Amino acid sequence: MAAAIALAERGKGLTGNNPSVGCIIVKDDIVIGRGWTQPGGRPHAEAMALEQAGPAVKGSTIYVSLEPCAHESVRGPSCADGLVAAKPARVVAALTDPDPRTAGSGFDRLVAAGISVERDAMAVEAHASLAGFISRITKGRPHVTLKLATSLDGCIAMADGRSRWITNDAARAHAHVERARCDAILVGAGTVRADTPKLNVRLPGLEGRSPRRIMLGSGDAPEGWEAIRTPDAISALDCNSLIVEGGAQTASAFLRAGLVDRLMLYRAPIIIGGGKPCLGDIGLADLSEAHGRWQLSDTRMLGNNRFEVYEAIPCSQA
Amino acid sequence: MAAAIALAERGKGLTGNNPSVGCIIVKDDIVIGRGWTQPGGRPHAEAMALEQAGPAVKGSTIYVSLEPCAHESVRGPSCADGLVAAKPARVVAALTDPDPRTAGSGFDRLVAAGISVERDAMAVEAHASLAGFISRITKGRPHVTLKLATSLDGCIAMADGRSRWITNDAARAHAHVERARCDAILVGAGTVRADTPKLNVRLPGLEGRSPRRIMLGSGDAPEGWEAIRTPDAISALDCNSLIVEGGAQTASAFLRAGLVDRLMLYRAPIIIGGGKPCLGDIGLADLSEAHGRWQLSDTRMLGNNRFEVYEAIPCSQA
């Protein structure tokens, strides 16, 4: 399953509003098929892996990071039907599809066809892998990552706005990989007007993976950009994952609205002193409210810059 | 030598303007004496270890984190003379004493007495252990640590000044241990007037190790405090180590004056947003100047708080 989830990473940022799923077919301890959701969302991971495995799939075990879909679409038959026809002995899946058109009926169809089904294998990891899709289906909005690149004293620029550069080459390259893995990037209208940032992926071989560009605020968006007026309007973007890249007022607006699922922090070993703070008011009434909101999920050094990921702790657990 | 340096840590904050030194005497692979600089600075580490070892010291090897002193004082004979009389076979030392009253003459006296002398053993570690003493002798001022306790967004308080609490119990206890190991703590006059902080060591068993309290700024210092008017005036404090604890203006004044040797950062996984920044203007003319100034030397988690130590990179290397 870990390998299937790793394959799913290949589709990140390319599958539109489809989930990026991974699938591995194993028979007699040999991998006979590997698939992941293809650009635009089709073929699905299972279809690609079945195609690779051919008739040998009969009697095999299939690992897939999400329940096979049970709904046909104009773009092809459902994966559940494809699997039933291919006759594997066993299907191991990480998550039940939250999409109401499937929501367990994919599994039901396999079981009815005499295929052994195992659910919830590495569900936590698959949940992280499919966080964007799950957010879109269950919350009706993309999974939102707020990226902040700061000095040790929490500044994103000098007082006069100069910000090139705070973080190092490795951190900036890492941030570009993260851009390539998401569907859309958002910045505030002020940042658009001040910097007209390209927000593209500037890494060799990944130039074609630049995400949609979204501007928050009033005024006309530049060509090739989309505009939304308020953070809430991200629901209308119909995409799985969004990175909010700034500036401070935009970042604060998303935090104030409770619309940040993940913080991605890059921190350079420099001191600016009296620079532009990375955030403005987020509506905190008391310090006690600030605790128990964020849980460190990943950290590493990128050269001499520290990278940290914090996940929002659901309010019910806080 | 590592054990001798570890012993030296016991004296930190207790030896006045004397260096806190560690000493171990070994004979036939057995430790026969251990010493460290005693409170107030006497006995010296060597004298304590020699007393423990007794006549067995003859023919032994003595490890000591700093060159034995060669200057007699009203408080007792020099360690070099004490060692010559004790007749060890060999003395291994980490550092040559920068104090001009010794500065190599301690070693000379041992060599002249036929004792084998090995220098510069674990010099880097000993230099870190004796950073305060070395700073006082070579720069004429204490080694200065700036402590900052912030949120992820670099704030030390909410906009209205509320700051209890940002960091967790483990981080605050750690900070109290650091207080116990230093000679003096400094805060700004504004902080004194606003908070009248105790700045003492509030850890069971260490209450007696509270350092001197220094106020920076104008106005009268409270009873039990000393006052200085400018950061430069720390030269007159005649101590080895100073922790600057705030607030932001005081911290910035020390950075602006180039008087910070070490940053000690405690960072809680909370977001304040629009709070009080940890620093004000430090006189940075360009972002490029900010790079290459600080080198991470230690980091660890204290519960869910991150602790980091950065050492100032000498300008000649930057």
Contact B201, B207 (CB under 8 A): yes
B-facing residues of A in 136-195 (CB < 8 A) are: 148, 150-155, 158-159, 162-166
Question: If you measure CA to CA, which chain A residue comes closest to B295?
Answer: A269
pLDDT digits (tens, 9 = 90+) for B8-19: 999 999 998 899
Distance from the B37 Cα atom to the nearest Cα atom in chain A, whole angstroms: 35
pLDDT at residue A268 tops 60: yes
Give chain A positions within 8 Å (CB) of B151.
Answer: 154, 290
Contact A150 B154 (CB under 8 A): yes
A119-125 long-range contacts, CB within 8 A, separation 24+:
A119/A67, A119/A93, A120/A93, A120/A94, A120/A95, A121/A1, A121/A63, A121/A92, A121/A93, A121/A94, A122/A1, A122/A2, A122/A5, A122/A94, A123/A94, A123/A95, A125/A1, A125/A2, A125/A5, A125/A94
Q: Does B287 touch chain A (CB under 8 A)?
A: yes
Closest residue to A293, CB basis, from B150, B270, B290: B270
Q: Given this chain, do its domains A2-132 and A141-317 carry the same CATH topology? A: no
pLDDT at residue B317 tops 90: no
Q: Catalytic positions of B, please?
A: 46
Q: For B111-123, what is the mean pLDDT?
A: 96
pLDDT digits (tens, 9 = 90+) for B166-208: 999 999 999 999 999 999 999 999 999 887 788 888 888 887 7
Residue the block writes with tokens 């591995």: A24
Give chain A positions within 8 Å (CB) of B158.
Answer: 284, 287
Q: For A41-53, what is the mean pLDDT?
A: 95
Separation of alpha carbons B135 and B17, rounded Å: 11
pLDDT of the residue at B75: 75
**What backbone torsions phi and psi does residue A192 show, to the nearest 5 degrees?**
-60, -45
Residue predicted with more confidence, B134 or A75: B134
pLDDT digits (tens, 9 = 90+) for B29-41: 999 999 999 999 9
Separation of alpha carbons B211 and B218, rounded Å: 21
Separation of alpha carbons A278 and B155, rounded Å: 10
- What are residue A25's DSSP bridge partners? A33, A62
The CATH class of A2-132 is alpha beta
Q: List the domain boundaries for chain B.
A: 2-132, 141-317
Contact A243, A185 (CB under 8 A): yes
Mutate to test the interface with B, among A153, A155, A168, A300 (most CBs of B within 10 A): A153
pLDDT digits (tens, 9 = 90+) for A116-142: 999 999 999 999 999 999 999 999 999
Closest alpha carbon to B15 in B232, B197, B182: B182
pLDDT digits (tens, 9 = 90+) for A106-119: 999 999 999 999 99
Closest residue to B255, CB basis, from A150, A164, A271: A271
Q: What is the ipTM of this complex?
A: 0.91
Mutate to test the interface with A, among B163, B165, B284, B305 (most CBs of A within 10 A): B284
Give chain B positions within 8 Å (CB) of A280.
Answer: 273-274
3-state secondary structure of A23: strand
Q: For B309-314, what is the mean pLDDT?
A: 95
Residue the block writes with tokens 């016991």: B10
**What backbone torsions phi and psi does residue B194 show, to the nearest 5 degrees?**
-75, -45
Closest residue to B280, CB basis, from A255, A273, A296: A273
pLDDT confidence tier of residue A206, bands split at 50, 70 and 90 = confident
Give chain B positions within 8 Å (CB) of A279.
Answer: 153, 271-274
Residue the block writes with tokens 């910097």: A195
- The CATH architecture annotation of domain A141-317 reads 3-Layer(aba) Sandwich (3.40)
pLDDT at residue A317 tops 60: no
Separation of alpha carbons B115 and B62, rounded Å: 11
Give me the total of CB pairs closer than 8 Å, taking one residue from chain A and one from chain B: 136
